Amino acid sequence: MEPNFVALRKEFPVLERKTYLNSGSYCALANDVKAAIEAYMEDRLAVGANWDVWITRNEAVRALTARLLGAASDEIAVTASVSAGLNALASALDFSGTRNKVVISDFEFPTNAQIWHAQEPRGARVVHVPRDASGYIPAEQFAAAIDENTQLVAITHVCFRNGAKLEIPKIVRLARAKGARVLLDCYQSVGSADINVKQLDVDFAVGGMLKYLLGTAGIGFMYVRDSFTKTLLPTNSGWFAQADIGAMDITGNHPHPSARRFEAGTPAVVNCYAAEAGLKFLLGVGTQAIEKRIQALTRRCMERLVEIGWPSVTPTGDERRGATVCVPSRDAGALAKELMRRDIVTSHRDANLRASFHFYNNEADIESFIAAMKDLRAEFAPA
């Protein structure tokens, strides 16, 4: 049975005032998430330092994230950000031998590029797979870059600049054929698409809670395939990464046997409350239904943009598109500001305006956006 999207929309009060097309940057706030943050505040007033309970909130986030991704809890590190997870992972990799190549793409968010470039003094060689003339990166483009010297293929699922989705299963097969590991940066897709890390056969996956997962900034996750965990020894560590946190041992480093070894210090407790509530809400709606709805909304939005003579640069095929529709503009920043003045919340990157959709958006949101864009076309569409 399809979720009741009309009723679900009412759980996001900002939607009464704004046409909210910005979940790819930060989600709309759900009543449940607001209540969870308030519950944390109440707890601080009522109990003070309620650590025994707070730690269980962190564990709840781990378990819900595992459910979301089709993984085991022990394969999930709860991190402060994608950067924190990637730095811990990078610190555990050895780039001193011939298998020192890290293959990334032109579609990466800076986090998943800069951190690999930061490993160059340790011997890493970072290779960028370029887009083709159409602006997309077909899986075949990766074949030339992935070879026997490739240790890791670290790629985004959906590009934050243009909304394009990479052909992950094909790229994973290319990596496997050469014995390389695969890291998926799914920050721009997780929560907007149905993702199963086992089916995708990736070794690592990173993301965070503030976009389609309905939570907040300052908390993320890293999935690490169980069979790798014990072979990897992060030097970027902390006391919450230890096998026995309570031991308070200062004589050595004893990493946890699970993916917790990629964690660091004290968890951001209030963020755990928000993330838990967001994940519960999202899983209650169901990721398959969410993916289907977002595909329909983005498809419709792109059709309407063509009708008003201002087509997007996002791929049209459902399999090659995420939740964001990107529209080229001669001044994307000023266009986003003008839309905001009309209570339409979007964002912009490079020369593109970004309108991103979640399950709580509807046809009326598309029509408000299209009406405003039609009005602003002469001023802001590319010359």
Ligand X SMILES: Cc1ncc(COP(=O)(O)O)c(C=O)c1O
Residue among 59, 63, 72, 83 that touches ligand X (CB under 6 A): 83
Q: How far is the CB of 186 from ligand X (least distance, A)?
A: 8
Which CB, 357 or 380, lies closer to ligand X?
357
Backbone angles phi, psi at 327, to 5 degrees: -120, 125
The dihedral built from the CA positions of residue 279, 281, 286 and 292, taken in this order, carries a sign that is negative
The tokens describing 54, both together, are 């707070």
| Residue 184 burial (CB count, 10 A) | 28
Containing 105, the helix (H) or strand (E) segment is strand 101-105
Q: How far is the CB of 207 from ligand X (least distance, A)?
A: 8
Residues 184 to 203 in contact with ligand X, rule: CB under 6 A: 185, 187-188
Spatial separation of the C-alpha atoms in residues 159 and 148, rounded to whole Å: 27
Query: What stretches of the chain show up as alpha helix (H) in DSSP?
Result: 5-9, 31-46, 51-69, 82-92, 111-117, 140-143, 168-177, 197-200, 226-229, 269-285, 287-307, 332-341, 363-380
Which CB, 208 or 267, lies closer to ligand X?
208
| Part in contact with ligand X (CB under 6 A); list of ranges 79-87, 221-229, 243-251, 348-356 | 79-87
Shortest CA distance to 330 belongs to which of 338, 342, 321?
338
Shortest CA distance to 222 belongs to which of 90, 88, 116, 78?
78
Specify whether the CB–CB gap between 155 and 104 falls below 8 A.
Answer: yes
| Part in contact with ligand X (CB under 6 A); list of ranges 75-83, 89-97, 163-171, 328-336 | 75-83
Q: How far is the CB of 211 from ligand X (least distance, A)?
A: 7
Residues 120 to 159 in contact with ligand X, rule: CB under 6 A: 156
Burial class (CB in 10 A: 0-12, 13-18, 19+), 336: buried
Which CB, 19 or 356, lies closer to ligand X?
356
Which CB, 159 or 302, lies closer to ligand X?
159
| Part in contact with ligand X (CB under 6 A); list of ranges 109-117, 143-151, 168-176, 269-277 | 109-117
Taking residues 323 to 362 in sequence order and writing x for each that binds ligand X by CB under 6 A, - otherwise, the string is: ----------------------------------------
The tokens describing 60, both together, are 């709840």
Using CB under 6 A as the binding rule, whether residue 111 contacts ligand X is answered as yes
Taking residues 18 to 57 in sequence order and writing x for each that binds ligand X by CB under 6 A, - otherwise, the string is: ----------------------------------------
Residue among 163, 191, 208, 322 that touches ligand X (CB under 6 A): 208
Spatial separation of the C-alpha atoms in residues 373 and 35, rounded to whole Å: 35
Specify whether the CB–CB gap between 292 and 5 falls below 8 A.
Answer: no
Angle ∠(81,83,84) on CA atoms, nearest 5: 70
| Part in contact with ligand X (CB under 6 A); list of ranges 104-112, 146-154, 289-297, 339-347 | 104-112
Q: How far is the CB of 275 from ligand X (least distance, A)?
A: 13
Residues 218 to 277 in contact with ligand X, rule: CB under 6 A: 220
Binding site for ligand X (CB under 6 A): 81-83, 109, 111-112, 156, 160, 185, 187-188, 208, 220
